[in-house]
Structures are given as C-alpha cells and as structure tokens.
Amino acid sequence: MSNEFQDFQDMGPVDYLVIEFPGNRMTGKGMSLLLDLVDRGIVRILDFTFVRKDTDGSVIALELRDLDADGELDLSVFEGSSSGLLGQDDLDEAGMALEPGNSAGVLVYENLWAAPLARELRRSGAQLVAGGRIPVQALLASLDAAEAEGGSAAA
C-alpha cells in the first residue's frame, strides 16, 4: 500500500461513480468542475479510468489518450490517477451497468470535506455501518407526490 494511504484512519469516506457516455461520446463537459473540487480540497481522486462495452458485451479498459481522437478532450490532467483500488473485476462490474456500444468513466474519490468528522468518529469508537445515495429523480418524485397530496415539502 502506498504511503499516501497508510494512515487510513485520517481518510474521509470513499465513494465511486460510473458515468455512462452513450455512443462513446465524451465531450469533457463537467471535467473542469471535477478539477475545481480537487483544487478546493473537497475531493481527492483515487482512481479514474474509462471502459467501453462493445456490442458483443465485452468490456475493455481505455487509455486516456484513446479518448482524445479529435484533440478537443484533454484528459491528460487525470493521467496517473490510479491507486490500484480498481481491478478487472470492478471494471467488469461497471461494464454490466452499461448498454453495449457505450463507454463510461469510473471514478473513485475520497470526500476530503468529511475527513475531520470521520477521523473524530473513528477515534471515539464509532463506525459507519450503512450508507447510500438517494437518486435526484427519486427525491423529486417524492416531493412531487407530497405536493400532489396537498402537503408542504418545506418544514
């Protein structure tokens, strides 16, 4: 394990995202926002790789340079973003979520903003036993349903 991760007690929560790009069309939109989060110390990228699911269902990892065929999508800033956390099994699992003919970015990141809280909780003996994410669509549907019932979403 690298020195960077040896004191995991000081780390914040680690999350992952699989972001699908239909038809393998990656425009790079949003990448500047991701870099801004890194620059401001909100997140730290641990792994960032790309995969493609071919029409036969096979999943292959892509090199960053393979994604910049037209010279407009500059992902070179992400080269070397590999902690070794992601293995082929992880990439295959990410590929299962993709439609054939599409590609995806697989991002593993540490929530630096939560590191001080996580550290103090660990020191007190607490541990995270469950977690999850509520999709925005589900949240909006719930709010719409509450509004339709005549309730107020505001507390």
Q: What is the pLDDT of residues 22-64, one digit of tens each?
A: 887 777 778 888 889 999 999 999 998 888 899 998 898 877 6
Measured from the Cβ of residue 48, the count of other Cβ atoms closer than 10 Å reads 22
What are the residues whose beta carbons fall under 8 Å from the beta carbon of 129, sequence distance 6 or more? Answer: none
Global pTM value: 0.75
- Give the single-character DSSP code of 11: -
d(CA 55, CA 155): 49
